[in-house]
Every structure is written in structure tokens, then in C-alpha cells.
Amino acid sequence: NPPVKKSATGGAPRSNDPEARKRIEVAAVAYATRYYKSIEGGERTVESVERDAVGWDLNAIGPADTLKVEVKGLTGREPVVELTPNEYEAMRSPEHRKHYVIFIVTEASTPSERAHIFRYDAKASTEKKAVWVSHSGRELEIEERTGARLRG
């Protein structure tokens, strides 16, 4: 495995190797694409919107709706990820959240890779707190952060 460091903000660990990060990202997107094309994933048509900066990576198009899938790939087992401001804004948006999916692939690019899929739960959510839940009933913990990049 490539060297991994904890991010400076104490967030999700990241590989120091850009090629390894890209390989993990590509493997995770391929996993999500296979999933949504499968019977289990709804036999959807999948299109990449990664280059469009819309706040998610894939459109998973089914007969009744289009899911907006943000894919995150990790080498580790714990589904701990960070979203960009654009991704987080799309996730929280009342316009998108009903169809927005957080698709985390742990141990990506290995035989043990596993999906952790979170969707917005309108019934469990309140005006002050949006709740995201996995198929297994696991609630997504959301820790909001703010930051700045400074250059001298």
C-alpha cells in the first residue's frame, strides 16, 4: 500500500501518492457503475458527470428517477471521507438531496472492496438536522468544517 497520512485538518486519511489516489478513485467509480448497472442497483443507465463540476460523479438513470451519486474511494476499512464545498452544497440542497447518494467504497481496488451507500431520509430528518442513512440502517455522522488556505 502507498504511504497514507492523516489530513492536516484531522479528516479522512489521504495517500501521498497522486497516482495511487487516482487509481483508488477510478476503482471506486467503476465499482459504483457496476453496482448501479446490476439488478441490485436497479439496472440503471450510468453516465459520468465527473468533469462537469455539478457536485457529484455519476448520474444513475432509472425509469422513475435519476440518482446523483457522489463516489469516494478509500484504501482503508472505515467509511470516513471529506466532501468538497461543491459536493457538500449539492448534498444539502433541497433540490438535489432527495436523489443524492453518498457511495463510499472501502478497501477499493482489492478483493475486499465494499460499498457503503447513504441516502437522505426525509422521515427521520428535521428542519434543523438532515439525516442520511445506509441500507443497513447506519446513520451518517456529519461534521461540518470550515477552513482557509493561506499563502505568504
- The pLDDT value given to residue 119: 97
- The pLDDT value given to residue 64: 94
Residue with cell 448501479: 36
Q: Specify the pTM.
A: 0.86
**pLDDT tens for each residue of 111-144:** 999 999 999 999 999 988 999 999 899 999 999 8
**pLDDT tens for each residue of 17-50:** 889 899 999 999 999 999 999 999 999 999 999 9
- Distance, CA of 126 to CA of 131 (rounded, Å): 8
Among the listed residues 59, 27, 130, the one whose alpha carbon sits nearest the alpha carbon of residue 88: 130
> What are the C-alpha distances in Å from 133 to residues 85, 102, 112, 116?
21, 10, 22, 10
- The pLDDT value given to residue 15: 63
Q: Alpha helix (H) ranges present in the chain?
A: 18-37, 85-92
- Which residues fall within 8 angstroms of residue 126, CB to CB, at 6 or more apart? none
Residue type, 55: G
